[in-house]
Structure 1
Amino acid sequence: MKQHSISQIFESALHDFEKALSRNSGRPDEIGGPREKQVRDFLKIFLPEKIGVAKGYVINQGGNISKECDVVFFNKETCPRFILDVENDLRLFPIEEVYGVAEIKSTLDKDELNNAKQKLHSVSAIYSKRYDHIPDDSEELFPHSKWNEPFKIVFSYKMWKNWDDFEFLYELHGAHSPDAAFILDCGAYINATDETLARKNSFTKRNTLQASTQDREVHNQIVSRFACGDRSRHYDDFLFYDVKDAVLLLMMYTFVLDEIKKMELPNYCSGDYIVFWAAQSNIAFG
């Protein structure tokens, strides 16, 4: 009887990534496009049906628009279909429908990393300005729900050969750090938090996340970091996983899935987009 495994599934997926990387027409637009599409196709196949995956711009009710994102994870069941380009599935996404965003790079050098961080930060700006359109005299009537900011990741097929580890980490956790970076031929970098410290422990000891949250080593690490003055419990460093290829894809997939499961998107009135975007366009309702 033929044996099946998760490893087998992701080894098969890796072949498609290798094909996308091997395509080289000489034109940058014909190289990057298929590689970005491969990542989106992979995520569309593996993520649950209710989670949409497309590219486009994140917007808020006040009329702010992010930079174009290579991947937007959104609530497929309720997100309006604001499609800008049907052929390329380029859309506008209300911030209230967005779980997270990702930027895709062929080779992650300093310029490409900074470009990715700026694009991802533009989504954080949309989130931070989500209530700016509310008039001051009615702001107290608006239900300021405290849903989480969309998660942000970088994926790259290759690491720039001239990076050294210190320089890469320095650039990675400068301003506008992503939550994680996944490099197919190198490894995974996950921003350190109480939870990700426990997850690292669970990988090391081959234990569940729940059990690792109670582990004495994890407790000591958290206490040590907290004692150093980081009251936010969101630490300024990254945990490195020396994984590549199929295992790297599996790690990225499970990271995205876990982050989405933690997100609780807010209730909002779709009609409010009409009210405030109409005002941006000087449209008056008689």
Structure 2
Amino acid sequence: MTIKECVKKYSSLLKNTTHIPNKEVEILILHILQKNVIWLHLNYNETFDKEKELKKLVKKRATDYPLEYLTNKASFYGEIFEVATNVLIPRPETELLVEQAVEILKDIPNPRVIEIGTGSGIISVMLAKLIKNIKIVAVDINDDALTLASKNAKKHEVEDKITFIKSNLYENVDKEEFIMTISNPPYIANNYKLPKNVEFEPRNALFGGEIGDELLKAIIEQTYKKDIPYLLCEMGYDQKRPLEEYFKKFNIENYSFYKDYSKFDRGFVIKFKKENKNV
């Protein structure tokens, strides 16, 4: 059976799972063969002799199991990152969080940044690639995440710019001067019913408490107390109003919210007034 015939045959098994079944079968074939898209188009009519392996992957994908966990890869900000089970899969919306940070950091010499909840390390790695002379401390409570993030930093040759630490928020971070905290923390309410495909991802990277914004509020308060000027966070689409109300507890110079690609509220940027905090 040729590659073309395999794509046609197995894409039918994914028509209820994805809107791009042909494309996903091609991705799985490339994963199996460790080839690129150019090779695929040049060899579309060649014999494919790993149908058994492909069938196994397609059947698993048909259960809504994430494609990224099958290939151990995800695209983010135009780069390829390794992903692994028990670590959150990167989302395109988080690229907007990186863009917000770059806009601020590009004009700051030798910035020091802390990322809370680094996951696969995509935010810290991209900032390290995009900002000259940056130093980053990236923390997470998940050992698997820290291992994966460190691997991605080495893959993208920025491991000298990032220090990875196991820590719950700022708990194990030495006192030092940071210009910015950045985070894509869990912000979904505990009782929210997840889409089937997301159920395969780690719950502690998704759920933020009974309401959902508890961890976000803890990050805001602790960042304020530590005199860190900038705080950038991703958030839930319905959390703008309660968070805006919560901001009133703090001495803030200015803040703004930004929307995602679907025009939902997706994150915020805070600049605190620099002073001693006693919240």
For normalisation by structure 1, the TM-score amounts to 0.31
For normalisation by structure 2, the TM-score amounts to 0.31
Richer in helix (by share): 1
